Amino acid sequence: MSYQPKTIVITGASSGIGFALAQAYLKRGDYVIGNARTEERLQAAAARFENAANFFGVAGDIALPATAAKIFAEAADRFGKVDVLINNAGIFIAKPTADYTEQDVDSIVSTNLKGFFYITQQAVRHMVEHRSGHIVNITASIAMQPTTTVPALLPVLIKGGLNQATRALALELAAHNVKVNAVAPGIIETPLHAPGSHDFLKALQPTGQIGQVEDIVGAVQYLTDSSFTTGAILPVDGGASSGRW
């Protein structure tokens, strides 16, 4: 039986993990609706994709309900149905709690919380109507096992909440044949981390390694291919969420 292409919505698709996810699904022959804040970022990403004819960008602030509605309207107009939503857009600000600013709070709440909720709300309506679909949330393993080495109360607060929201939504949608899971990355080698910081970052992992974006891609694709896994929080973190070491 030949592979049937799926329609995949990915937020934060222009760089890092989001770019790698988009590239991986495009290579499989799927159609990708990618979101980033600006059209310029999407065009730059599209110029690097293989099978770029299957990529369609929708620019806009993912924290806004209008952007979420626009993404799903575009997907429905082109393909009629969305099979997968990957909530990848997010920012990470680590600092002592006393040092967080009002701007830090607003930025994290906007991107990591509102940027999850409004697009997921669109996906829920759409997937319940079609009685199928997968939602995968990219969270953070530090929300599962905080550490004094990297104080990060705001990411732990929001990403930890998303881990629990993943489980709650999985139960809510189970009867509708919609699967909801999360991948919780540890430290992954992306442009976010300066090359000079790698030795320090490796020392934070039990395995002494930094993860690669391909590790996250493999975990996400396992979840979106599964017909029986839902409500799972899958850490991909070199063991960092297992406890103290």
85-101 pLDDT tens trace = 999 999 999 999 999 99
Determine the 3-state secondary structure of 188 from DSSP: strand
**For residue 14, is pLDDT > 90?**
yes
3-state class (DSSP) for residue 32: strand
25 — pLDDT class (breaks 50, 70, 90)? very high
| Structure token pair of residue 59 | 């620019």
Superfamily of domain 7-238: NAD(P)-binding Rossmann-like Domain (3.40.50.720)
Q: pTM here?
A: 0.96
For residue 176, what is the DSSP state?
Answer: G
The pLDDT, as a whole number, for residue 119 is 98
Tell me the pLDDT tens digit for each residue of 188-211. Answer: 987 666 667 777 788 778 888 899
What does the pLDDT read at residue 206? 87
The closest of 2, 6, 11 to 162, measured between CA atoms, is 11
**CA nearest neighbour of 129 among 177, 97, 167, 161:** 177
Q: Is 56 helix (H, G, I), strand (E, B) or coil?
A: strand
More confident residue, 184 or 149: 184
Integer Cα distance of 115 and 104 in angstroms: 15
